[in-house]
Amino acid sequence: WTAALAETIKKMPKGKGEEPNAVELEFVQATDVMRESLGNTPETREAELRSAQVLAGYQGTVDEAQVRAQRLIDTAPKTKQALIAARLLVQIKSDQIGKDLKAKGIAETEAEDLRKTLSLLRSNTELMTADKTEGKGKLTELIAVQENRLRVGIIAFKEKNQDFNAAALDYEAYARDAKDPVIAEKALANGLLAYEKAENFEGAQRIAKAWLTRFPASKGAMAALRSSATTALVMGNYPYSIWLFERVGAVTGDETAYLTTIQLRDGIGDVLGAAAASDYFLKRYPKSGARWRVWLEQARALEADPKTEDQALGKYRGCFAGGAAEIKAECGVRAAQILGRLK
């Protein structure tokens, strides 16, 4: 009887409206009779699964479909019918929250039902073992896809609502969990930008450090940090800009980045920081064409303090020995002035 009804349903077009047609309802009723009469047999499970699939196709009976799918999972988790029922349950709940979550986003409260279902399925040891041995990992893959979809949707929702700090924290966690380097770097880049929008520069520095630690040779990281450093400079956020330029210089060996760091520290009156950055530059780039300019800037800073004029004299003598004509000329004049004062 149920087999004949199932064959009839296969040949019939899907019913219209929110409720199953008469034949489909008769099949569902027949399934209930089978379950009560025969118990948990392969034939009963097949009928129960088919009933759940039929009911899932209509808005008015989709809740009943979930009940039947869950019953299969609970009573026969090691069976192929339970595996298919689990995938059906996930699909139903996924459809209920809509498509394209990346574009429209989803609030965490709206995602909770699907997230709870995914968590319960993943924690069902018998079901997941059966998926591995009998289901070719299809359920595991579906759960992973849906979990990722939810994470992306929740982040998108937070960004749409300008909760950039919360979005950045999620990006940071997403990057840590991502095994694909491309995905991880994209999450890190988005997280860096979100922290900057939130003006949380402590978080931005943390995620930048994590990026450089995990992907020290990343061209994407260098491009992002250089762009952020330039933007911070334009916006007048000099401490953050200095921090970024120092990281770019340290990782890439870009002497221009370090020269910018020296100039910025000098510009904000950080004499000690500028001196330390200058010393580092001269040690790392002893043959740089810019070394004479750095020597000159060091000498000027030392000359400003009468206690270090003698050190300034040594620097001026050094930059007088080389460099472009205008630098050489200034170093010579200033050296002569100091000598005049020291007599």
| Mean pLDDT within 185-203 | 95
pLDDT 10s digits, 132-189: 999 999 999 999 999 999 999 999 999 999 999 999 999 999 999 999 999 999 999 9
pTM of the model: 0.75
CA neighbor of 315 nearest in space, from 307, 305, 332: 332
CB 226 within 8 A of CB 260: no
Token digits of residue 234: 């334009």
CB 48 within 8 A of CB 30: no
The Cβ of residue 212 has, within 10 Å, a number of other Cβ atoms equal to 19
> How far is Cα of residue 49 from the mean position of the Cα atoms in its chain?
38
Gap between the Cα atoms of 251 and 259, Å rounded: 15
Token digits of residue 203: 């978080």
Place of tokens 């800037």: 297
pLDDT 10s digits, 246-263: 888 888 888 899 899 998
Q: Kindly tell me if the per-residue pLDDT of 39 is higher than 90.
A: no
CB 24 within 8 A of CB 15: yes
Q: How far is CA 51 from CA 34, 56, 57, 127, in A?
A: 12, 8, 10, 21
DSSP state of 306: G
Q: Kindly tell me if the per-residue pLDDT of 3 is higher than 70.
A: no
- Average pLDDT over the chain, rounded to an integer: 88
pLDDT 10s digits, 138-150: 999 999 999 999 9
